[in-house]
Amino acid sequence: MVSFFERVESRAREIDSLLCIGLDPHEEDLPSHDSLLVRSARDIQMARAAQEYCIRLIEATSDYAVAFKPNIAFFEQYGARGMAALVEVIAAIPAKIPVILDAKRGDIASTAKAYATAAFDSLETDAITLNPYLGYDALQPFLKNPDKGVFLLCKTSNPGASDLQDLTVQGARGAPPMMLYETVAMLARAWNEKQNIGLVVGATQPYALARVRALVPDMWFLAPGIGTQGGEIRAALQAGLRSDGLGMLLPVSRTIARAADPRQAAESLRDRINGERLAISMGQGSWLPSADTLTPQQKDVALGLLRAGCVRFGKFTLKSGILSPIYLDLRQLISNPALLAQVSALYVPLLRELEFDRLAALPYAALPIATTISLQTGLPMIYPRKESKEYGTRAEIEGEFKPGERVVIIDDLATSGESKLEAIQKLVSAGLRIAGVVVLIDRESGAAESLRRAGLEMHAVFKLSRLLDLWEESGDVPAKYLHATRLFLQQTLDV
């Protein structure tokens, strides 16, 4: 028996393509209907138009399609007539081309079994998109036959995806925390006994694509988002391709369907994708976010800091005594709990790269940040006091710990690094080992170099110079302030 993904791979190699043609008959793309018709007559008219529209697209693009992906919603809306049209559309797809039903089902027990029967037996499709939120038992009816495939929603390309998919999940038995979408990928790998599970990972999210590819090196991805949704082909391919140049299906619908010549549009897009694949194979390497690349979540926070008054421009004397044209005051975060939660979540990917036992927050601005990280991840926290207690336990470090444990320093900003070294000395004197320093913003004023001389590595969510670039792009900061701050940074580096 040939498995679903063996068929996909064979087809991709045979026609040298990664294109998956979406069959999404939007009403605005169909001939106008008579608005005076009763609903049943209108459904008949629209279902017929949707069927003809899809069949024309199939005939035009089948030479370049690894798979076709009809979206069931565009047919269900026309009731029984629409479903009859969907059956005809699927029947029109050449037998050698796999059919993926875009249905995003997710239910349990007999309901899941009925959905699987509908997709695989009644509609005779080869694969289906599923929502894994209900867990493994909801997927079992779809996984019984290795010749049928499933794509689990992992990291989608819609704007609200981060509401749930980017939530931090505490790792089991001391494992580092990870985002929910990464947990889905890990579960999919564990559930993939019959090698018939793939993942939906949006092409608009190259950082997520790279993270998921690192977790599941061999799985196939359904990666929607290029074309109308704005996904950049080179970044998506560099992030998501397997080492053999395969492993991704790129669904495209409107970009091809609305072209004057859909066949030519499909061929051109196939060739463009292949050109990027060739360039990558000749030494471009895997996509990883550079220090200058900001994720959508980082951009939201960077602009949120401005609007919350955490960033001010003028003339300010810093703790180090330096006169600065910019003042960063993250103490303001306590009055904006939603932004505080977003800020804290940005620390988590950096923390995942380190091995440690506890967080060690530096007073005062980092205390609410580290506390929020602790609540988000379950990681225990301590903090060194600025001054020793003169009563009670006379503790210099608050919280439970054991000598020999490794801690990560959490702070809000890094300027010269002197204040961190003072706090670090207290922790080291108590027998703790420092696994690293993580801050939100590196002011690029020598802290990283100072800490490195002390044998410590600093990790920053943002470099101040990159934030200035973003604020310039957004138009939220007058040019004179940006110029003064850049000049200040350059003078600091020259020193």
Q: What are phi and psi of 23, to 5 degrees?
A: -105, 90
Q: What are phi and psi of 21, to 5 degrees?
A: -90, 120
Q: Which residues are catalytic?
A: 104
Phi-psi region of 392 (alpha: psi -120 to 50; beta: other; left: phi over 0): left
Cα 240 from Cα 357, distance rounded (Å) = 32
